[in-house]
A and B are shown apart, each in its own frame.
Chain A
Amino acid sequence: MSDAPELIRLDALGPGGPYRSQARETVHDVTGHPVAELSLVPRLYVRRGLAALRRARPLPVGERTAALAEAGRLFGSATVNGLTVQEYEHAVTRVSGLPIAVVREATRAVATGLAGAYGFAGQARPRGSRDASYGASNAVWIRRGDVLAVLAAGNHPGIHEQWAEALALGYRVAVRPSRREPLSAHRLVSALHAAGFGTDRVVLLPSDHGVADDLVAGADLAMVYGGDAVVDAYRASTTVLPHGPGRAKILVTADADVPRHLDTIVASVSEQAGAACVNATAVFVEGDPAPVARAIAERLAGLPSLAPDSAAAVLPVRRVDAARELEKFLHAEAAGATAWLGGDTVVDELGDGAAVLRPAVFELPHANAPQARIELPFPCVWVAPWSREDGVGPLRNTIVLTALTSDQELIARLLDEPTIRNLHVGDHPTHVLVPGLPHDGYLGDFLMRSKTFTHRAPTPP
Chain B
Amino acid sequence: MKPFNATPPLIDADALVKKDQSRLIHPHLPGDSTERVVMVEGAGCRLRDAHGREYLDATGGLMLAHVGHGRRELIEAAAGQMSQLAYYSSFHEFTNVPSIHLADRLIELAPAPMERVYFTSGGAEAVDAALRMARLYHHRRGEPERTWVLARNFGYHGITYGGAAATGFPMFHQGFGPMMPNVRHLTPPMPFHPELYGGEDPTEFCLRELRETIEEIGAERIAVMIGEPILGVAGVVEPPADYWPRVRELLSAHGILLILDEVITSFGRIGRWFAAEALGVAPDFIVTAKGLTSGYVPLGALLVADRVADVVTRDEGFVGGYTYSGHPTACAVALENLAIVEREDLLTAATDVGDHLGARLRRLEELPIVGQVRQIGMMIGIELTRDPDTGEPLSAEWVPPLVRERAGVIVRNNPNTVLLSPPLVMSHEEADRVAAAVADVLTERATRSTRRKAVPATPAPSVLDAPWSRPPAMSELLAAAMEWHFDPKTGSRFWLERAKTLDFDPRADIRTEADLALFPNIVDELRDVRIADLVPRGYGDERIPLDVYESGGTTGSPKRVAWLPDHHERLCAWHSEVLDDRGVPRDVNWLTIGPSGPHIFGPISRTMAHRRGGVPFSVDLDPRWAKKCVAEGRSEETRRYLEHVLDQVEWILRSQDVGVVFTTPPLLEALADHEEMADLVNRKVRTLIWGGASMSVDTRGLLRDEVFPDAQLLGFYGSTMVGGGMYERAGLAADAPSTFDPPYPFISMRVVDPDTGETVPYGERGQVVMNHVSRAMLIPNNLERDTALRLPGAPGFGGDAVADIRPVPTFAGTAVVEGVY
Contacts and interface: CB of A to CB of B under 8 A. Distances in A.
Interface of A: 16, 21-23, 41-45, 47-48, 51, 217
Contacts of B701: 22
Given A44-B702, A48-B706, A51-B675, A22 B669 contact: no
B697 A44 contact: no
Contacts of A23: 696-698
Contact of B698 (A16, A41, A51): A41
B696 A42 contact: yes
A375 B706 CA distance: 45
Given A23-B697, A23-B698, A44 B735 contact: no
B673 interface: yes
B673 A22 contact: no
B728 to A, nearest CB: 16
A23 B696 CA distance: 8
A48 B703 CA distance: 11
B155 to A, nearest CB: 62
A22 B698 contact: yes
B675 A44 contact: no
B313 interface: no
B698 A21 contact: yes
A100 B256 CA distance: 115
Contact of B672 (A16, A21, A44, A217): A44
B699 interface: yes
Interface string B716-745: 000000000000000000010000000000
Q: Which of B672, B697, B698 has the most CB of A within 10 A?
A: B698
Given A22-B697, A47-B669, 18 more contacts: A16-B706, A21-B698, A22-B701, A23-B696, A23-B697, A23-B698, A42-B696, A42-B698, A42-B702, A43-B669, A44-B669, A44-B699, A44-B703, A44-B707, A45-B698, A48-B672, A51-B673, A51-B675
A44 B735 CA distance: 17
A389 B733 CA distance: 72
A96 B703 CA distance: 36
Contacts of B706: 16, 48
Interface string B748-773: 00000000000000000000000000
A203 B386 CA distance: 65
Contacts of A21: 698
A43 B672 contact: no
Contacts of B672: 44, 47-48
Interface of B: 635, 669, 672-673, 675, 696-699, 701-703, 706-707, 735
Q: Which of A16, A43, A217 has the most CB of B within 10 A?
A: A43
A48 B698 contact: no
A396 to B, nearest CB: 30
A47 B703 CA distance: 12
A208 to B, nearest CB: 11
A51 B669 CA distance: 13
Nearest to A55: B675
A42 B669 CA distance: 11
A97 to B, nearest CB: 30
23 contacts: A16-B706, A21-B698, A22-B696, A22-B697, A22-B698, A22-B701, A22-B735, A41-B698, A42-B698, A42-B699, A43-B669, A43-B699, A44-B669, A44-B699, A44-B702, A44-B703, A44-B707, A45-B699, A48-B672, A48-B707, A51-B673, A51-B675, A217-B635
Contacts of A47: 669, 672-673
A235 B706 CA distance: 38
Contacts of B673: 47, 51
A103 B687 CA distance: 52
Contacts of B699: 42-45
A51 B702 CA distance: 15
B732 to A, nearest CB: 12
A51 to B, nearest CB: 7
Q: Which of B672, B673, B703, B706 has the most CB of A within 10 A?
A: B673
Nearest to B703: A44
A368 B735 CA distance: 56
A22 to B, nearest CB: 4
A262 B698 CA distance: 55
Nearest to B697: A22
A42 B704 CA distance: 14
A41 B698 CA distance: 7
B783 to A, nearest CB: 25
A45 B672 CA distance: 10
A51 B672 CA distance: 11
Nearest to B672: A44
A38 B730 CA distance: 30
B675 to A, nearest CB: 7
A217 B636 CA distance: 11
Nearest to A39: B698
Contacts of B735: 22
A41 B703 CA distance: 13
A45 B706 CA distance: 10
B820 to A, nearest CB: 13
Contacts of A16: 706
A16 B675 CA distance: 16
Contacts of A43: 669, 699
Contacts of A217: 635
A41 B701 CA distance: 11
A16 B735 CA distance: 19
Contacts of A45: 698-699, 702
Q: Which of B696, B697, B706 has the most CB of A within 10 A?
A: B696
A164 B703 CA distance: 32
A378 B706 CA distance: 45
